[in-house]
Amino acid sequence: MSRPTTLTWSTLARTMAGTVVAVATIVAGGVATASSAAPPSASEHAQVVAQGIVRFDGAPRHWQLTPLPATPTPGDADTSAPSFIVSEGPDALIVADGSGPIARLAPGEAVFRPEGSTTSLRTPAAAAGQGSAFGIVPGSGDPALTFTAPSGDRDVDLVRDVLAAGETLTVTTDVSAFGVVTEGTASINGTTVNVGESFGAVGAVTITNGGTGRLVVLVAVIGPPLDGGGVVVVPIPTAAGSTAPAGGPSATEPPAGSTPTTTQGPSAPSPTTTTTTTEPEPVDTDSDGLTDAEEAAAGTDPNNPDSDGDGVNDRLEVQRDDLDPTNPDSDGDGLNDGKELDFSCDPAVADTDGDGLSDKQEVLFMAGANCLLADSDGDGSSDGDEYNAGTDWNDPASKP
């Protein structure tokens, strides 16, 4: 099994130039499926950071990781194939479609872009950013990352988890998954995968942090069909003395010294099994990270990822109790929430630094003033006092 040179996450994305790195194709033992259903994407405390729907036609597709450098000038991102856009930092990425901004992604956040969509990226003013696209590309590519899904619509998830030493994440797919270790070193069914390396997987795959520091992984998963249901057979044991979490699949580590199989495809059923029924997947029509039911409760538009058009994703506004996802200017200072975040102001506070001047006044009408500094030039007089006295808030020698 060949491996790429160990790289950091950002270095990996920048050096791939649109190609795919395959560390290993891992086929997990002890999982079999019946009917058209598939288990949930992940167990334990993993988070689904982005979700979408992909229509498969029974033809081969392959995973492709593409670097997306960004500057304050908008640049096109190729989303001709369905893709997850992930922000790597150090600053935020602002994602737009043909109608305007749809999301502001802090480092580690992601958004799904449908097949054939128009997508552009930029960073806030004078900021630097880097992103990557996890693409589900039509046709065959690297054999280790090529798969064929049955025809029909399927849920796709981007799962992120931060694992402390000894913790385990179980990812399950009956079609394919593609992951990257962004921090630390993982043991994936007994195979070591280092930071910056990627892996292909099928079945129930156990990802364990065997080190002393934290482990961070991102895994894109082809999930169940939208009209799935029925019966799924999954293994019970997760480790000696423990059992699988209710409703969630897991798999045991292979015996010490064993090597994962490098042939894709479902594995043989485990002799120790139980039967459960999967619940219908929640619907997120606009792929903003909120289900349609959550949007109804929040009063947002389930067909628009940015209901108030302020450049901030509905999910991010709902997660902050002090922001209003239906009001583009939550604090009423005349500067919309997205613009406030671009300039690091607090969109919930009209005068972030408490200097007596609104954020809008400092950002738009006072060159050199900083909405985070009450005294921009450090002369002991607040910007508000200097503005009212007619002195220069950028010159410490000029003060009331």
Q: What is the 3-state secondary structure (H, E, C) of 196-256?
A: CCEEEEEEEEEEEECCCCCEEEEEEEEEEECCCCCEEEEECECCCCCECCCCCCCCCCCCC
pLDDT of residue 17: 29
Q: What is the mean pLDDT of residues 290-318?
A: 90
Instruction: Give the residue with greater pLDDT, 362 vs 237.
Output: 362
Alpha-helix residue ranges (DSSP H) falling in the chain: 9-16, 292-298, 314-319, 337-342, 359-365, 383-389
How many other C-beta atoms can be found within 10 angstroms of the C-beta atom of residue 247?
A: 13
The residues with which 342 forms a beta bridge, in sequence order, are: none
pLDDT of residue 28: 42
Highest mean pLDDT among 83-92, 111-120, 217-226, 284-293: 111-120
pLDDT at 53 exceeding the cut of 90 = yes
φ, ψ (nearest 5 deg) of residue 156:
-125, 135
pLDDT of residue 247: 37
Q: What is the mean pLDDT of residues 239-253?
A: 36
- For the chain, give the mean pLDDT: 76
Q: What is the mean pLDDT of residues 188-201?
A: 86
Distance CA 258, CA 163 (A): 23
Environment class of residue 390 by beta-carbon count within 10 Å: exposed (0-12), middle (13-18) or buried (19+)?
exposed
pTM of the model: 0.52
pLDDT of residue 339: 86
> Residue 316 — very low, low, confident or very high, per pLDDT cuts 50/70/90?
confident
pLDDT at 358 exceeding the cut of 80 = yes
Query: How are beta strands 110-113 and 25-27 bridged, if at all?
Result: unpaired
The residues with which 235 forms a beta bridge, in sequence order, are: 273
Q: Strand 60-70: give its sheet, edge to edge.
A: 110-113, 83-90, 129-138, 60-70, 146-148
Check if the beta carbon of residue 289 is closer than 8 Å to that of residue 313: yes
Q: Which residues of 357-369 are buried (b: 16+ CB within 10 A; e: fewer)?
A: bbbbbbbeebeeb
Q: What is the mean pLDDT of residues 323-331?
A: 92
Distance CA 348, CA 391 (A): 29
**Percent of the chain surpassing pLDDT 70:** 76
Q: What is the mean pLDDT of residues 66-80?
A: 91
pLDDT of residue 137: 94
Beta strands in the chain (DSSP E): 25-27, 32-33, 47-56, 60-70, 75-77, 83-90, 93-97, 100-105, 110-113, 119-122, 129-138, 146-148, 152-163, 168-183, 186-188, 191-193, 198-209, 215-225, 231-235, 273-277
pLDDT of residue 212: 86
pLDDT of residue 190: 82
Instruction: Give the residue with greater pLDDT, 32 vs 85.
Output: 85
pLDDT at 20 exceeding the cut of 70 = no
pLDDT of residue 280: 66
Tell me which fold the domain 9-277 belongs to: Jelly Rolls (2.60.120)
Domain boundaries, the chain: 9-277
pLDDT of residue 110: 92
Check if the beta carbon of residue 222 is closer than 8 Å to that of residue 42: no
